[in-house]
Structure 1
């Protein structure tokens, strides 16, 4: 059988690694290839369980994509930004506030960051059904590769991770897989995201914060070299997330915190101005956001022996009896982010209620 010739894509050259000695978070690294056996899953489940109770973030390696394949994905991820003109981008902008969906472009200056400063972040979002919405001409030749990559992220990365999380709750392995299915109706999305450098005045007004501290959803971040992501450590300090070549950075987000009864943590994370050695470079990111099925009610999995033993921790959970569905919560978060009024907090923590959940934004 002849080898398929892939379409040409201009190579993307990332920034060199930072030269500063940064305070990095100490995160475990799990080998996903070990999850192929029951013994390996039991070993990894203990690591993932303990990590998601504390730091809430981890690295994953041996995920099935070679460095060359990952490099090509980053090359493709740059196409929506460098190969599409601004007037064409506007034609494919998503109806973020109206539909509660990110599909298509989020253009720059859409979110309010702080003190009158709008964001300098552009992203392009694609559903697992890559034909659900039309795409810019320059991206169309790559849709078969994008579709295969999305399926790989969901089936070969997210599903193994949530199997480990289910084991950590002493539940059947497929408990979370069964409510986080991969199909044409799935509301997950691939995000290609580019942060552009800002002016010194904007940095001063926002205290160097590019994206406020927040929690999110089940996220697969393909590691890239620009140091900007920070997580709130268990002791309450911001620490940098270090780049590891061809590794993934995984966090579980709000939905799995709610389902685990607060046992697993949706860790607060933010994006800040890179260190001096990397300033002036754009930051290109590749993310996969995995969503539970739309009709899943975000309440604790009461059949879990762990939840029964340890009890439900309701500090961040929706009000009992008024839990939203995944669809309701997802749309509320998307519509409100950077576009709605928040209550300013004296300690730099802004708050708002969405679908009965207290949402915090950390400056």
Structure 2
């Protein structure tokens, strides 16, 4: 019998007229056949070339199961006292690892304003670290949730990405071992409303435009509008909420491995529309990374890459491993001093000799 938990009440969807990105919807029921996967791989390839995000439906979790995960996701923020949170605070800057709490006021946003975001990160191996007392009765559920995301969502997606490159279906699956040494993790994240003074100083930006550092990010759609993507025409557009859908994007590691074929998606978080500003924004993620030892170099045997050309961010000999890249990105994010970028509207930092851009 499932452990009882307080129900998390989500905000009503906004009624404001927002300019939404036009994202395709991938129906996982089509993954059951080879022909279906080939069709979907073409749609995913086009989506990643044109927009960079897409939705997944029929991913194996019912609406009730998803609602239950959001109920559990709120526990680290509402049922753990500040003193106990400190005991499980992560040391991202020192370790380059996302495990435990990312407490508020850790990331610098702009003009002396720090974030009002709290996150709790759980390695897919939930036994790797100790967890707050209130969360412990739910660890078996979270382990099952991680397995579901890894085997029933991530692996089918990785097969679609491989087919898009005309590679064997399990090319990317083989470097995302569930039992391998890796930092693939679940993240629960809660954004709290900010003061008007902070909104003015940051231009309403809660998290600057950035790319994720892994291969694939799974975000469980929730109704508070705040996520935007940078469209190819240079405009920021909102992501529309779809009940029980996943919002999918790729990150730096996929760009390295695909020789620039799949570019990391630039996205940011801004102040929600007026009718949702008094609601906290709770998010549930699964961040996928290759095994730590994987060297981030292109799969040059890809016929698609051989036709289109390979875009490398560095020479293969200088390419980082996944461990090196995620430690560099994690330890620097929101804490390093950013320089004015060479591209208008950007700021830059250098990680392992490679330029990483942030977008205003």
TM-score band, normalised by shorter chain: over 0.9
Corresponding residue number in structure 2 for 1:221: 219
Task: Kindly indicate whether residue 134 of structure 2 is the aligned counterpart of residue 138 of structure 1.
Answer: yes
Find 1:188's aligned residue among 184, 190, 201.
Answer: 184
Q: C-alpha offsets along residues 320-349 of structure 1, whole Å, 9 cap, x if unaligned?
A: 431000100000000000111111248331
2:144 aligns with: 148
- TM value normalised by structure 1: 0.97
Distance 1:170 1:51 in 2: 16
Q: Confirm whether residue 358 of structure 1 aligns to residue 355 of structure 2.
A: yes
Determine if contact 1:128/1:184 at 8 Å carries over to the other structure: no
Give how far 1:281 is off.
Answer: 0.8
Question: Are 1:51 and 2:47 counterparts?
Answer: yes
Tell me, in whole angstroms, the C-alpha distance in 2 between the residues paired with 1:67 and 1:318.
Answer: 43
CA contact (8 A) 1:180 1:293 kept: yes
Map of 1:101-250 to 2, 5 A cutoff? 101-183=97-179, 185-216=181-212, 217=214, 218-250=216-248
CA contact (8 A) 1:54 1:265 kept: no
Matches of 1:188 and 1:267, distance apart in 2: 18
| Bigger Cα displacement from structure 2, 348-357 vs 75-84 | 348-357
Trace 1:8-19 onto structure 2 (pairs within 5 A).
8-19=4-15
Distance 1:326 1:144 in 2: 28
1:321 is paired with a residue of what secondary structure? helix
2:321 to 302, 322, 325: 325
Q: Give the structure 2 partner of residue 291 of structure 1.
A: 289
- Tell me the alpha carbon deviations over residues 242-275 of structure 1, each in whole angstroms, 9 at most, x when there is no partner: 0000000000111111111111111100000001
Structure-2 residue corresponding to 1:40? 36
Given that 1:318 and 1:356 are in contact with CA atoms closer than 8 Å, whether structure 2 keeps it comes out as no
Contact 2:89 2:102 survives alignment (8 Å)? yes
Does the aligned pair in 1 maintain the 2:20–2:238 contact within 8 Å? Answer: yes
Measure the CA separation in 2 of the matches of 1:32 and 1:355. Answer: 37
Deviations 1:81-133 (A, max 9, x none): 00111111000001211110110000000010000000000000001110111
Whether the aligned pair in 1 keeps the contact of 2:341 and 2:357 (CA below 8 Å) is: no
User: For residues 284-320 of structure 1, what are the alpha-carbon distances to aligned partners after superposition, in whole Å with 9 as ceiling and x for unaligned?
Assistant: 0000000101111111111101111111124xx2344
In the other structure, the counterpart of 2:251 is 253
Alpha-carbon separation, structure 2, partners of 1:30 and 1:284: 24
Supply the distance in 2 between the matched residues of 1:298 and 1:56 (Cα, whole angstroms).
20
Tell me what 2:16 maps to. Answer: 20
Deviates more, 1:73-82 or 1:317-326: 317-326
Contact persistence 1:128–1:186 (CA under 8 A): no
The residue correspondences of 1:271-350 to structure 2 (distance < 5 A) are: 271-314=269-312, 317-345=313-341, 347-350=344-347
1:85 to 70, 76, 81: 81
Structure 2: state its 5+ residue gaps.
none
CA contact (8 A) 1:128 1:183 kept: no
